[in-house]
Structure 1
Amino acid sequence: MSDARCALWFLAAYLPMIALTPPMHALHRRWGLAVPVVLAVLVALGDAARLWADVPHGGTANYLLMWLAVHQLGFAWHDGRLRAPAGRLLLLAGLCGLVLLTTAGPYPVSMVAEPGAAVQNTAPPTLALLCLAAAQAGAVLLLHDRGGRWLRRPRGPAGVDPGGLPGRRRRPPPPARLTGRGRPAPRAGTPPPTGPGCGSGRVPRGRGR
């Protein structure tokens, strides 16, 4: 039973995000990228309340706030506010923040749950985990256009019709086709052959037989 709960942990964040999508999208239409910035600040305040002020359940809201911040980046990408230049900024800021928080800060290097650890980056989610998500989103934005061009390239061996069935070869050009009697078809504009037996398609019999 515990293994099943571990495998379905994401539903605890995914289902509330789906339910909050309409109001969060309305906030995005009004305030744009300011929404994930404010959510990131709230995540940092939750970490401070839990790690430095020892507030009971101080970072519990980060289970929702951190993933909502990442969810808002999807809105910004969809309406064109996040492109490759913003991807560079996200990647650099995320990596720098991640290195700083895990070396000079109290956050562990591991981004997965570690049983018995005093501080974890996933339970509840921390600012360090948000920095990792921002860096990954930036890398995806940088690779988006290049990956799209690579996927749109025509692929397949020579003689294979990309729009046809797999392994179906293109029909040979007309000069290479054969007639029903096994002879090459004449080119367009070529006068019909003349001579004994050519009109009927039968091999002329020799004389004397």
Structure 2
Amino acid sequence: MRELIRRIDAATPPGRDRAVDGLRALAILGVVLGHWLVTALVTDSGTIRGAGPLQRMPQLAPVSWVFQTLAVFFLVGGEVAARGHAAARAGGATYGQWVGARMARLFRPVAALLAVWALVGGGMLASGVEWGTVRTLCRLAVAPLWFLLVFAALTAATPLVARVHPLWPLAVVLHVDLIRFGGLGGPDWLPWVNEAAGWMVPYCLGAAWARGALRSRGTGWALLCGGVAATAVLVLGAGYPAAMVGVPGAEVSNLAPPTLAAVCFGLAQCGAALLLLGPLRRVLRRPAVWAVVALVNLSAMTVFLWHQTAMMAVTSLGLLAGRPLPGLHTVPDGAGWVITRIVWLPVFAVALLACWAAFHAYEQGGRGRGGGSRVVCGRPPGRMTAVPIPDGDGVRGEAP
């Protein structure tokens, strides 16, 4: 292990900003933990259905403020894509080569997920599993794909989006919400414009970061304080939900599609992320800590796509106990559920590790010259070692 850590540290280019990878790892882990804490599956007359603890315990809304970290992921995505595209152009790569490599990194793991769940869903139906259960499980498994489609569209449009000031998509979100909640009518599809505009705000911030426009700590403080103040006004004064995730049964969700409150909250998160850069750079000088962050980034899409499957696998296997297990199959309606759910988190993590072992190779395949990531496993005496080497677009694993 020490030798692997040493190789990872030695293989990292001196100019690599490790804090960017640190933010991406924190964003991914935040989403994973958040989903595991606010998503519940309960058994009802032999059928598994979804339930949400925030529906019965709205006082837990601050949990969503900590773990809903998608804005940070889009911030980092915009920075990495803009910088990677500029580096690819400087190196002579065409737009097609660059975007092809980026899309392959995103969608090859998706193909594996869809193939597995097509087989699982078909197998459950063929064996007589109730349709409601199959629908609940399959919807949870593919739920992360909505985010990926938006992220892929913004990535493909990076050469154009990188030139857009973040205030323009923010203005779009504001006007859509004015029409949506101000009683001004509008077509049914109009709110879904915010699905692109809302996440374009942190993505454009990331592109501005890549151009060197967000270097001042004052910018971070302005985003943090301004975002917090705007979110508080919208929640306390304009009636927006306090939870920054979807709550089953709620009339309005801050995420489906993103509301002005969610976007302002995301700006606050982006400000906090920029302020964390200095401390993260100092922490990530430690080879052992950097090795963990590099490995998470190497399999970021695998972790993101399979974390719900890992939770569902544990939940399904728990049914073999013959009775509902607290925190796993019981209704999330009190402190007892919260405590027992936290106890289950390490079990979910072990299941996710098993999913990673089975499917991470789909993310770590070879890459072309347009950027992205590839993994080449060499075979030193007695073992196979993959050493992640960060590059401009992601993490490239390569055995020395």
1:76 counterpart = 2:208:
yes
- Maintained 8 Å contact 1:50/1:56: no
Query: Aligned residue for 1:146?
Result: 279
TM-score normalized with structure 1 length: 0.66
Q: Tell me the equivalent position of 2:63.
A: none
Pair 1:111 & 2:244 matched: yes
Asked if 1:55 is matched to 2:195, the reply is no
Q: Cα 1:114–1:54, aligned 2, differ >3 Å: closer, same or farther?
A: farther
Q: Which of 129, 134, 145 in structure 1 is aligned with 2:267?
A: 134
One of 167, 178, 186 as aligned partner of 1:37: 167
Determine if contact 1:98/1:132 at 8 Å carries over to the other structure.
yes
Correspondence 1:125 to 2:258: yes
Secondary structure of the 1:145 match is: helix
> What runs of 5+ residues in structure 2 fail to find an aligned partner?
1-137, 289-400
Question: 2:59 corresponds to which residue?
Answer: none
Aligned to 1:101: 234
State how far apart, in whole Å, the 2-side matches of 1:62 and 1:118 are: 17
- Structure number having the greater helix percentage: 2
Which amino acid is the alignment partner of residue 23 of structure 1? L
Letter in 2 for 1:146: P
Shift in Å, 1:70: 1.1
- Displacement of 1:54 after TM fit? 3.0
Any idea what SS the aligned residue of 1:66 has?
Answer: helix
* Structure with the greater alpha carbon radius of gyration: 1
| Equivalent residue, structure 2, for 1:185 | none
Indicate the SS of the match to 1:152: coil
1:67-110 deviation digits (Å, cap 9, x = unpaired): 11110011111222112110000000000011110110121001
Aligned-pair CA distance for 1:151 = 2.5
Structure 1 runs not aligned, ≥5 long: 29-34, 156-209
Structure 2 residue aligned with 1:14: 151
Secondary structure at the counterpart of residue 59 of structure 1 = helix
Aligned partner letter, 2:210? H
Take 1:153 and 1:4, find their aligned partners in 2: how far apart are those partners? 36
Shift of the 24–7 alpha-carbon distance from structure 1 to 2, 3 Å rule, reads closer
Counterparts in 2 of 1:187-198, with a 5 A limit? none
Q: RMSD of the alignment, in Å? A: 1.7
Which of 48, 55, 67 matches 2:199?
Answer: 67
Percent of aligned positions that are identical: 37
Structure holding more strand per residue: 2
Q: TM-score scaled to structure 2, two decimals?
A: 0.35
Residue 262 of structure 2 aligns to a residue whose secondary structure is helix
**Matches for 1:161-180 after TM superposition, within 5 Å:** none
Query: What's the secondary structure of 1:116's corresponding residue?
Result: coil
